[in-house]
Every structure is written in structure tokens, then in C-alpha cells.
Amino acid sequence: MLTVNAYAAPSATEPLVPATIERRDVGPRDILIEIRYAGICHSDIHTVRGEWGAVAYPLTVGHEIVGVVAEVGAAVTKHALGDRVGVGCMVNSCRECANCLAGEEQYCLNGNVGTYAAVDRDGTITQGGYSTHIVVDEDFVLRVPESIPYEAAAPLLCAGITTYSPLRHWKAGPGSKVAVVGLGGLGHMAVKLAHAMGAEVTVLSQSLSKADDGRRMGADHYFATSDPATFQTLKNSFDLIINTVSAVIDLDAYLRLLALDGTMVNVGAPPEALPLHVFTLFGNRRSFAGSGIGGIRETQEMLDFCAEHGLACDIEVIAPDQINEAYARLEKSDVRYRFVLDMARI
Ligand code: NAP
Ligand code: ZN
Ligand code: ZN
């Protein structure tokens, strides 16, 4: 066992504090990663606050992890010492069910093993990336392309794949009109990815304060949802809407912006139920869908796509002792556009 430095939440209501956690010995198919950077996802906040359900404390979160391979097990073939690697939202799955066999381990019918707050194979609770090291099965470790700086690559492991996967599944591309609701961590990557795929991209943000940034990221249009005229101007116009908002929004108002056969995909994960009127779906034969992260194969495809198109995340690098301040800012939508922890400063 390896004892490593980390930041952990002592409870749902207290600030995160320095802590130590145990990492298992490196097994035959395991990789020890020296973590360089870890992104702060809004899911980390939902989880530590217990908003999605009870979790065991103390808990270390973080599932946007990049670092260097520091040790490999005897049977490891996919990664070597010194490789630049990443770990996202899951560290294992059953590998036998239909969904795992289809390469969609995130939808493992026996439940994927989340990078944090999940029950691992050995019965322990998984602890995430706000730490200096992690031990992960090689099959759940990604290659981080050389051309993407470590710190700007970290958030791709969740924010990148969570938006790439639905954009691919619902075929964003030349000729399609895509709207992204919320320009935060997920939203800013949705804009960059949809633009790189060739779609016409519109941002729907609470205000116009980030419009210049949005256009620089590739948005063709930018509207404020605080202005009721936005919902008139844009009705019946989009093929795909990606909703990244972490809170409850008026779904019907956004669904009315879909064109014939359009789909609104919810990736935002507020704890509360989201009400909608089915009559809004009857109009234009609209669909309302959800999407959860992405499989390992698709996550690698996304990383390679970002390298090929020169994409990475817009980040604010912070020291681990600034986590609580970053959480407070994230809760006020004050982020440009992902906080990333520099683990060397722990
Ligand atoms: P984030 O950086 O906080 O971005 C969310 C954005 O939503 C904010 O920047 C803000 O954008 C907008 N927003 C926030 N509160 C709002 C409100 N009350 N009304 C309208 N708009 C609001 O969060 P994130 O890390 O991107 O995560 C977003 C959500 O996705 C979270 O719920 C997270 O748990 C979830 N998530 C889901 C998956 C999945 O697999 N489906 C994966 C990762 C994360 P503007 O300022 O531009 O309005
Ligand atoms: Zn996440
Ligand atoms: Zn499975």
C-alpha cells in the first residue's frame, strides 16, 4: 500500500482539507500514475455535498486526471514508464455485459466503477484525483497526446468526453445547427468540439458577459437566456441542443427551440427532477435525451480528435489550497472555463 497526499471532504458541509489516502499495491495489470493535474468538475461538488445521494466520508474526488506513468505491473502492455496518461470518470467495469462488450463501459449493466465514491473490486471506496498518485487498471488509462499540455488536457477526461459523445451520437457536423446551454466547463468544450466537427454553433448563456470568449471558441451565434426575446427569435431552429446546466431550467422553453426531429440532450445533472410537458415534444416530433460520459475507446478517440484539431480546455490553474475558493466560484458560474489543480503544489 502506498500512502499519498490528497485533499478530502470530511463531510457534506465542511471545506475540503489536506489528507492522506491509501493506494493499493500495483497489481499485474495496474499502473501507478504520478498525477500532475486534476480538473475540478461540477460533479465533484454535487458528490461531496451529498446532492446526488449519501457518500462515505472522508472522500477525495476528482475525475479529470493527467500524469506520468511511474510504475507498471508485470502484465501491463498498453502503457510504459514515463508515458503521458489520463484517467476519467471510471476505473473499471464488468467487461462481460452487452454494453461493456460494445465498448460502452460507462453504461455497464453491472455498474461501472466510478473513479471516486464507488465500491471497488476489493470492497474499498474509490478515491479520486485530488491527490498525488493513483493506481488504475491499464484498460481504463488513456494516452494523452504529446501536443496537448498536461494542464489543458486534464478536463478533457470528463468535460471533453461528456460533450464529444453526444455530439457524435447525434451526428453534429456540416449542415447541423447545434446549441450549447451554459458556457462552463462542459459547455466551452461542447462549443469547441461542435465547431471542429463542422456544425453551426449557438451558445445560450445566462448573459452576454462571455460572448467574446464564446465566439473565440468557435460559436457562430451567442444569446442571453435572461432576455425573453431569445426564445422567440430562436424557436424551431436547432437540430441538437446540449444542455450542460448544473441547475433546473425551464425545459419546455428550450425544447421549443428544436426544429423538426431535433433532440435536446441533457448532460447537466441537477439533483432535482426536471419537469416537462409532453405536448412540447409532440411539436416538431422532438426528443429529449440524456448522455453519460463516454466509453474508453471513444475517450481515446476524443483525445486524438482534440490533438488533430488543436483543441484543449481553457483553464485557470490553481494550487490545491484554493479548492474551496474555486468551489464557491463554480457555484456562482464564475469560471473561465475549468479550474485545474496543480498537484505539484500540494
Ligand atoms: P459548470 O462549469 O459549473 O458549468 C455549468 C454552467 O451552467 C455555468 O457555467 C452556467 O453557464 C450555467 N448555469 C449554472 N447555473 C445556472 C442556472 N441556475 N441557470 C442557468 N444556467 C446556469 O459545470 P460543469 O462542470 O460544466 O458541469 C455541468 C453539469 O454537468 C453538472 O451538473 C455536472 O454534474 C454535469 N456532468 C454530467 C456528466 C454526464 O456524464 N452527463 C459529466 C460531467 C458533468 P452560463 O454562465 O454560461 O450561463
Ligand atoms: Zn465530471
Ligand atoms: Zn459491464
Backbone φ and ψ for 293, nearest 5 degrees, come out as: 25, -125
pLDDT recorded at residue 121: 81
How is residue 85 written as a grid cell?
A: 496518461
Q: Strand, coil or helix: what is 85?
A: strand
pLDDT recorded at residue 196: 99
Residue 273 near residue 145 (C-beta atoms within 8 A): no
Closest-approaching ligand to the CA atom of 246: 1
Ligand 1 atom at minimum distance from 206 CA:
48
Which residues have a Cβ under 8 Å from the Cβ of 211 and sit 6 or more positions away?
A: 203, 205, 222
Closest-approaching ligand to the CA atom of 93: 3
DSSP letter for each residue of 87-142:
E-SEEE--S-SHHHHTT-GGG-TT--EESSSSB-TTSPBP--SSBSEEEEEGGG-E
- Over range 137-152, report the average pLDDT: 98
Q: Which amino acid is at 344?
A: A
Residue 162 near residue 186 (C-beta atoms within 8 A): yes
Residue 39 near residue 108 (C-beta atoms within 8 A): no
Nearest CA, atom 18, ligand 1: 247
User: Degrees (nearest 5) of the Cα angle 124, 125, 130?
Assistant: 130
Q: Strand, coil or helix: what is 30?
A: strand
Which residue bears the cell 466560484?
329
Contact residues of ligand 1, CB 6 A cut-off: 41-43, 46, 158-159, 162, 182-187, 205-206, 244-247, 249, 267-270, 291-293, 330, 333, 335
Ligand 1 atom at minimum distance from 248 CA:
18
pLDDT recorded at residue 122: 85
Which residue in 27, 68, 52, 164 sits closest to 118, CA to CA?
52
Higher pLDDT, 121 or 200: 200
Cα separation of 322 and 317, whole Å?
A: 10
- Over range 180-192, report the average pLDDT: 98
DSSP letter for each residue of 161-201:
HHHHHHHHHTT--TT-EEEEE--SHHHHHHHHHHHHHT-EE
Ligand 1 atom at minimum distance from 203 CA:
47
CB-proximal residues (5 Å) to ion ligand 2: 41, 43, 158
Which residues have a Cβ under 8 Å from the Cβ of 62 and sit 6 or more positions away?
A: 38, 39, 40, 44, 115, 116, 128, 129, 130, 131, 341
Per-residue pLDDT of 243-274, as tens digits, reads: 999 999 999 999 999 999 999 999 999 999 99
Q: Which helix (H) or strand (E) holds 99?
A: helix 98-101
User: Degrees (nearest 5) of the Cα angle 142, 153, 21?
Assistant: 70
How is residue 155 written as a grid cell?
A: 478536463
Q: Compute the distance from residue 147 Cα to the ligand 2 centre, in Å.
A: 23
pLDDT recorded at residue 54: 96
Nearest CA, atom 44, ligand 1: 43
Q: Compute the distance from residue 189 Cα to the ligand 3 centre, in Å.
A: 28
Running DSSP on this structure, what letter comes out for residue 9?
Answer: B
Per-residue pLDDT of 41-77, as tens digits, reads: 999 999 999 999 999 999 999 999 999 999 999 999 9
Q: Compute the distance from residue 274 Cα to the ligand 1 centre, in Å.
A: 15
- Over range 148-169, report the average pLDDT: 98
Q: Which helix (H) or strand (E) holds 281?
A: helix 278-282
pLDDT at 222 over 90: yes
Cα separation of 144 and 237, whole Å?
A: 37
Nearest CA, atom 27, ligand 1: 42
- Over range 147-153, report the average pLDDT: 98
Q: Cα torsion for 167, 169, 171, 177, to the nearest 10°? A: -40
Residue 155 near residue 39 (C-beta atoms within 8 A): yes
pLDDT at 113 over 90: yes
Residue 172 pLDDT grade (very low, low, confident, very high; cuts 50, 70, 90):
very high
Running DSSP on this structure, what letter comes out for residue 59?
Answer: B
Residue 187 near residue 155 (C-beta atoms within 8 A): no
Residue 117 pLDDT grade (very low, low, confident, very high; cuts 50, 70, 90):
very high
